[in-house]
Copies of this chain bind each other. A is one copy, B any other.
Amino acid sequence: MKIAILPGDGIGPEIVTQAVKVLNALGEQFEMETAPVGGAGYEASGHPLPEATLKLAKDADAVLFGAVGDWKYDTLDRPLRPEQAILGLRKNLGLFGNLRPAILYPELAGASTLKPEVVSGLDILIVRELTGDIYFGQPRGVRECPDGPFKGQREGFDTMRYAEGEIRRIAHVAFQAAQKRDKRLTSVDKANVLETFQFWKDIVTDVHKEYPDVALDHMYVDNAAMQLVRAPKKFDVIVTGNMFGDILSDAAAMLTGSIGMLPSASLDANNKGLYEPSHGSAPDIAGKGIANPLATILSAAMMLRYSLNKVEQADRIESAVKKVLAQGLRTADIYEEGTTKVGTEEMGNAVVKALA
């Protein structure tokens, strides 16, 4: 089985190194090949997603991705900026199904800005559609405003769109995920304003007929943003579009106060996937050896579970992570008095040791 390793920028290389170490400690045979992406891709060959990197990702059975981005690329033209690599990978690999768990580990309850009783035991799964919506819809650009009171001025515009099949396939992913959990799915839309999301709501309602064992409810996105703050534990699985999912999954992740712990999977129709931590490239702490590698290590576990069909090995990694937390080991981002502060590499080594 071949894994493409794309470390990227900032803390990406450091945290991916630890995840690779953990994978290698499982006693399995993986073929791994590394390629530059994001700012590193741009430095290497003038494009954030070099052709060779894309080819490697396409040919592999799964992709382990670090993080991309650095302020120094802010002045580049948009198509050359690091984050275009991630959009390009999603689109080219057809990774439409983004799974983002927001889990609060009991040991880390104190890290949240929310009161412990509101978040302790939090365990939600956000299923975000990742290759459609206003992210990729055409036409888009800057043009002359065609009508209305601002006619003749310049205007920026984009197209939001979802085809029936696009909604159906992400709905299936979400219903099936809910079946494996508490069997409750909340579909988040803005059907009171947007045609796209009235259509979304209708199709999700239709797909629901195939999953009578799952309880479905619909919620407007503004209300969902409120309920995530008010009573996040009431959610089980949330499914939504690319744009709303971008906002809500980050908000949900931040509820835990420990975004350095949260993995993600982006899957295609055959469960091939790209796995990456939910956090960013954190250029301010890059190279200091203090970044939290656990989100990336847990992303590797998701990779074993969803793409490589090694559920037992995934379980082993997840147990090992729980063990190091129970041992009181903490990187700086989740450190509290009374625990033991460790660096990136020490944390990776501790997970390897805990695997045994």
Contact = CB atoms under 8 A, between A and B. Distances in A.
B165 A150 contact: yes
A150 B165 CA distance: 7
B254 A158 contact: no
Contacts of A193: 87, 134-135
A155 B145 contact: no
Contacts of A140: 194-196
A228 to B, nearest CB: 8
A194 B134 contact: yes
Contact of A134 (B160, B223, B231): B160
Interface string A154-167: 11111111111110
B142 A163 contact: no
Contacts of A228: 251
Given A192-B81, A250-B222, A251-B225, A198 B156 contact: yes
Interface in A236-295: 243-244, 246-248, 250-251, 253-255, 257, 259
Contacts of A147: 138
Contacts of A81: 192
Nearest to A154: B164
Interface stretch (A13-21, A34-42, A111-119, A306-314): A111-119
A35 to B, nearest CB: 22
B156 A78 contact: no
Contact of A114 (B87, B115, B221, B248): B115
B229 A113 contact: yes
Given A229-B255, A247-B225, A165 B192 contact: no
Pairs of residues from A and B, 4 with the lowest C-beta to C-beta distance, nearest first? A156-B199, A150-B163, A156-B196, A157-B161
17 contacts: A114-B229, A134-B193, A135-B193, A145-B163, A150-B164, A153-B165, A154-B199, A155-B164, A156-B161, A156-B194, A156-B196, A156-B197, A157-B160, A225-B248, A226-B259, A228-B251, A229-B255
Interface of A: 78, 81, 83, 87, 113-115, 118, 134-135, 137-138, 140-142, 145, 147-150, 153-166, 190, 192-200, 221-223, 225-226, 228-231, 243-244, 246-248, 250-251, 253-255, 257, 259
